[in-house]
């Protein structure tokens, strides 16, 4: 889900591409559905890969599709109702994976029948610590992603570009 590179944390390619597609759909929301081909061209993504991502987003109710010659994809919810945590959960499958308990490690038996931690016990202890750390980090990360909506991302994109991006979606016939 997350990759650390040069002091910054990065989302997976799957989540990043999904967010980029959702931003495109949000900018075009008042003009009707966009085809996967159009979104892929604008974002320089593989159409086949993007369709897989859009299918996952559709199955979880974040986007909807319209059939026909003027069909395509559109947001199923308002941009302020979609959080980045929703997108990451759908596309990366992080739905509480860190909540499960770590597997039990083996323990050695002594001659008097008591158990004592051996190499397996030490390994289990180390795994429990690592599991706890990652569960904590995962929880905080998902909380942070949950505080950022698609609308927030769209506002940031507009501010960084310094111009109205929506003009790309005006079609002249």
Tens digits of residue pLDDT in 84-118 = 999 999 999 865 444 444 444 444 444 555 555 55
Residue 94: the pLDDT is 64
d(CA 110, CA 113): 5
Per-residue pLDDT tens digits for 24-61: 999 998 889 999 999 999 999 999 999 999 999 999 99
Owner of token pair 């980090």: 137
- The residue-averaged pLDDT of 71-78 equals 96
Residue 9: the pLDDT is 67
pTM of the model: 0.73
Under DSSP, the state recorded for 110 is: -
Residue 16: the pLDDT is 95
CA 19 to chain centre: 8
- The residue-averaged pLDDT of 67-73 equals 92
Residue 7: the pLDDT is 60
d(CA 20, CA 154): 10
d(CA 62, CA 75): 6
Pick 4 or 13 by higher pLDDT: 13
pLDDT at 14 over 90: yes
Residue 165: the pLDDT is 56
């Amino acid at each position: 889900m997350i990759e650390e590179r040069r002091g910054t944390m990065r989302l997976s390619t799957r989540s990043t591409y999904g967010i980029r597609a959702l931003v495109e759909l949000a900018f075009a929301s008042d003009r009707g559905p966009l085809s996967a081909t159009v979104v892929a061209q604008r974002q320089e993504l593989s159409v086949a890969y993007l369709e897989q991502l859009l299918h996952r987003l559709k199955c979880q109710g974040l986007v909807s599709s319209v059939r026909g010659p003027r069909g395509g994809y559109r947001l199923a919810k308002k941009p302020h109702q979609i959080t980045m945590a929703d997108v990451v959960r759908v596309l990366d499958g992080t739905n509480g994976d860190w909540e499960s308990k770590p597997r039990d490690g083996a323990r050695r038996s002594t001659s008097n029948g008591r158990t004592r931690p051996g190499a397996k016990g030490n390994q289990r202890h180390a795994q429990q610590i690592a599991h706890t750390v990652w569960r904590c980090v995962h929880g905080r990360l998902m909380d942070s992603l949950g505080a950022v909506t698609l609308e927030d991302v769209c506002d940031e994109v507009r501010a960084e570009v310094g111009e109205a991006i929506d003009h790309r979606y005006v079609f002249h016939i």
